[in-house]
Structure 1
Amino acid sequence: MAFKRFVQVGRLCVVNYGAEVGKLCVIVDIVDASRVIVDGPTTGFERKVMSLKALSLTKVVADVSRGIRQQKLAKALEEQKVIEKFNESTWGQKKLAAAKRASLNDFDRFKVMLLKKERSLAIKKAIKAM
């Protein structure tokens, strides 16, 4: 099986751990075989050198040049709709759903629990009727 996600300039990444866990960033330059310079002007991520072990590569790639400045990167990401492409992917949908679940208050979680019980009961009735 061949690799499909290569470390390349413009590749959108998700931070795995650290203070910025879960944030999106773009590879701006490659330092060596294990470190890259990343930046996320539209996601609130500062430009810094990060280890590839701390990043997960996504399928989305922006068409940008090596060492692009922050303002031009933000403009390119906006024009190419890179963040929107990620949010339309399965990974992005899961990330948005997890953020929505995390923002629920106690009463909203209670309502979700009741809806799950109601759905489960309806499924059991449908199976019993077969």
Structure 2
Amino acid sequence: MVLQIGRVCIKLSGREAGNVCVITDIIDNKFLLVDGNIKRRRVNIKHIEPTEKLIQIKKGANTEDVIKEMIKNKIPVSYWKLKKENLLNNEIVELYKQYFGNDWEKVAKSLGSPGKKN
């Protein structure tokens, strides 16, 4: 699988293992900048598993843009992430409702937070 900006991946190691992330920038041949259901951070290429999904974002897209595109592509985002990044605004809530229905909050909360088991 080609690692490119917008590629949806699964984090394989660390406290955020198993969470979905999106490549926002390619730093060099060993490190990537990722965001999504994890804290925006630099990760080693060996610590992520790319999926077939690809979303349309610009290089270095901010967290809000990444979250909006994830929701538009029916990739749920955790309530923890929305609250921590102060993104529980009307626009994102309406997007969530549009793609996940009125039970959006239940879907978002079911993802839990990084490092904690549900």
Q: Per the shorter chain, which TM-score range?
A: 0.5 to 0.7
Q: CA RMSD in A?
A: 1.6
Could you tell me how far 1:78 is from its partner in structure 2? 1.4
State the 1:69 CA deviation. Answer: 0.6
Secondary structure class of the residue paired with 2:60 = coil
Task: Flag the structure with more relative contact order, 1 or 2, with Cα contacts below 8 A and sequence separation at least 6.
Answer: 2
- Report sequence identity in percent: 29
Partner residue of 1:25 out of 21, 24, 38:
21
1:46 alignment partner in structure 2: 39
1:1-130 alignment runs, 5 A limit: 5-40=1-36, 43=37, 45-81=38-74, 83=75
After TM superposition, the runs of 4+ consecutive aligned structure 1 residues lying more than 4 A away are: none
Q: d(CA) in 2 for partners of 1:77 and 1:20?
A: 17
Q: TM-score, normalised by structure 2?
A: 0.61
Distance apart, 1:73 and its partner CA:
1.2
Q: Shift of the alpha carbon at 1:25?
A: 0.3
What TM-score, normalized to structure 1? 0.56
Aligned residues: 78
Residue-by-residue CA offset, 1:5-60 (whole Å, 9 max, x unaligned)? 101000011111111111110000000011000001xx2x1100000000001111
Aligned to 2:39, the other structure's residue is in SS state strand
Instruction: Please tell me the residue identity of whatever aligns with 1:19.
Output: R
Larger Rg: 1
